[in-house]
Homo-oligomer: A and B are copies of this chain.
Amino acid sequence: MRYAVLGTGIVGRTIAARLAALGHQALIGTRDVQATLARTEPDPMGNPPFAEWHTAHPEVRPAPYAEAASQAQAVVNATSGGASLAALTAAGADNLAGKVLIDIANPLDASAGMPPVLNPVNTDSLAEQIQRAFPEAKVVKTLNTMNCRIMVDPSRVPGEHNAFVSGDDAAAKEQVTELLISFGWPRSAVLDLGDITTARGAEMLLPMWLRLFGAFGHPDFNFHIARA
């Protein structure tokens, strides 16, 4: 498959590298390739600048959002939540139409300090905003509830734990489920929550995720739904 992963932060890099390792073509989309490659500072979490990562992953080619999306059969939104709609607009509605759009972002807003707040919340979600803005894309929310290294390697966390999928298109959810299985997720670990409005629930896990991260001091954990 040909994938476009939008977002050159640690999440986008991790997904793109995993897709490439699985034999897919992975373009990594960014607003301005030259600016992205020119950065020399680590990000606020200490991750190396993109150019350094790219030297180790030449198989993942950076491209402007629109070029990446136009060449892809499926698109992953791995931008920060507050920038997602702008990034997808730059990618272009025509380049998203008819394609599975895997939304793994969280609409966290740290502008008023830490911990960040979730916006939208309760009656809307980032996934729904994206689906409304790009009605011809097949938006599937998934993987936003865990650290990115677990997304592509669930064995980092022992025992059973879950990936959730939300979306209006059953075939798109199945396609995403198969991608998750290729990442190492057992099919039984993928919980279909229902339509795209159920992404509200998955996004609202983030404040708890942040508190658990605070309590444990590391991100190697994930939600599991135990059930009778």
A157 to chain B, nearest CB (A): 5
A52 to chain B, nearest CB (A): 26
Instruction: Say which one of A6-14, A22-30, A170-178, A212-220 lies at the interface with B.
Output: A212-220
| Residue from B156, B207, B224, B227 in contact with A225 in the complex, judged by beta carbons closer than 8 Å | B224
Instruction: Say which one of A42-50, A80-88, A114-122 lies at the interface with B.
Output: A114-122
Does A96 interact with chain B (Cβ within 8 Å)? no
Does A223 interact with chain B (Cβ within 8 Å)? yes
A226-B215 CB under 8 A given contacts A205-B205, A207-B204? no
> What chain B residues lie within 8 Å of A200 (beta carbons)?
207, 211
Does A158 interact with chain B (Cβ within 8 Å)? yes
Q: Quick one: which of A193, A201, A226, A228 has the most chain B CB within 10 A?
A: A226
Closest residue of chain B to A210 (Cβ to Cβ) is B201
Does A161 interact with chain B (Cβ within 8 Å)? yes
Does A139 interact with chain B (Cβ within 8 Å)? no
Does A101 interact with chain B (Cβ within 8 Å)? no
Contact B226 A224 (CB under 8 A): yes
The DSSP consensus for interface residues of chain A is mixed
Contact B221 A194 (CB under 8 A): no
A215 to chain B, nearest CB (A): 5
Closest residue of chain B to A156 (Cβ to Cβ) is B228
18 A-B pairs with C-beta separation under 8 A:
A122-B207, A156-B228, A157-B227, A159-B226, A161-B224, A193-B215, A194-B214, A201-B207, A201-B211, A204-B208, A205-B205, A216-B227, A221-B226, A221-B227, A222-B225, A223-B224, A223-B226, A224-B226
Binding site for B on A (CB under 8 A): 117-119, 121-123, 156-161, 191-194, 198, 200-202, 204-205, 207-212, 214-216, 218, 220-228
